[in-house]
Amino acid sequence: MWYGKPSKGGSPLLDDDAIFDIELKLLLEGILLRYQHDFRDYSVASLRRRMRQALERFDCATLSQLQDRILHEPAMFLQMLQFFTVQVSEMFRDPAYFRALREKVVPVLHTYPSIKIWVAGCSSGEEVWSLAILLEEEGLLERTMIYATDINVDALAAAEAGIYAVDRIAQFSDNYRRSGGKRSLSDYYTAAYKGAIFDRRLRRHFVFADHSLATDSVFSEVHMVSCRNVMIYFNKDLQDRALGLFHEALVNRGFLGLGMKESLHFSRHAGNFRELCQAEKIFQRA
């Protein structure tokens, strides 16, 4: 599709937005060839917004300048991952989701001798630690392994460390209480040097790994997948790919949790799941 209007010589005059989109396509192709990370099926609107933020952050006038630095400076690419992957989360985010897990999912998980859970796109780990606390309180953690994956190695390191700013704890604690928490969140962390360090005993049940929903295969056979607020940044084709991976990974009648703004409607995999908790976006493999 051409943008702008023809010049007197017949060649199209492209406006700035059209040129930006051309540079964006070239940038994504270059990253795939150089680093084997595929962002081509991420939401274009989201990519445009975040790449403009990256231009400002790295003081580049154009995406072509940014691409030159990324291709020649591997450390630069690692910094760029924060713009491709949105690292915004909180413990027990959407408390109704975690309450529904306690009421609807936990009773079924109790029937398994061992449990595997996959947190896809785990970001900086708030959901991983939240699930561990919930499972501990429900008497399931000792027989559970939680696989936490992301493409951002810095985010994975932060998730594994389990250290969060003290000024975030009040919100975490309120979410925990509203999610049906049975104790005080402070029972699970130690505060020191303006950080809250979560209990290392929980950490024994985590496995962290670099995994891309765009390019990698099924991670493991699991009883539950939680992938929340990740697919909203994908286009329809990549959403379908991710849902296909989750369907393949889940055991029969295993559970899938999505973000509050995400849906299976209009997906080619919609018929492979049944709705368990409509409002909380929890589904069960059909």
pLDDT tens, residue by residue, 187-246: 999 998 889 999 999 999 999 999 999 999 997 899 999 999 999 999 999 999 999 999
The pLDDT value given to residue 1: 32
Mean pLDDT of the chain: 93
Give alpha helix (H) positions in the chain.
16-35, 44-57, 63-72, 74-84, 95-100, 106-109, 126-137, 153-161, 169-178, 200-203, 236-249
Q: Which pLDDT tens digit goes with each residue over 190-199?
A: 998 889 999 9
Percent of the chain with pLDDT over 90: 86
Q: What is the C-alpha separation between 280 and 22, in angstroms, rounded?
A: 39
Tokens of 59: 């003081």
Model confidence at 87, pLDDT cuts 50, 70, 90, reads: low
Residue type, 155: A
Contacts of 65 (CB under 8 A, 6+ apart): none
Indicate the pTM of the whole model: 0.87
| pLDDT attached to residue 197 | 96
pLDDT for position 9: 53
Residue 3 banded pLDDT, cuts 50, 70, 90: very low
pLDDT over 90 at 185, yes or no: yes
Rounded to whole angstroms, the Cα distance separating 242 from 36 reads 18
* Residue % of the chain over a pLDDT of 70: 95
pLDDT of residue 82: 86
* Confidence label for 88 from pLDDT (cuts 50, 70 and 90): low
Nearest to 54 by CA among 28, 34, 35: 28
**Res. 144: pLDDT tops 60:** yes
**Mean pLDDT for the stretch of residues 108-135:** 97
| Closest to 228 in 3D by CA, of 257, 192, 268 | 257
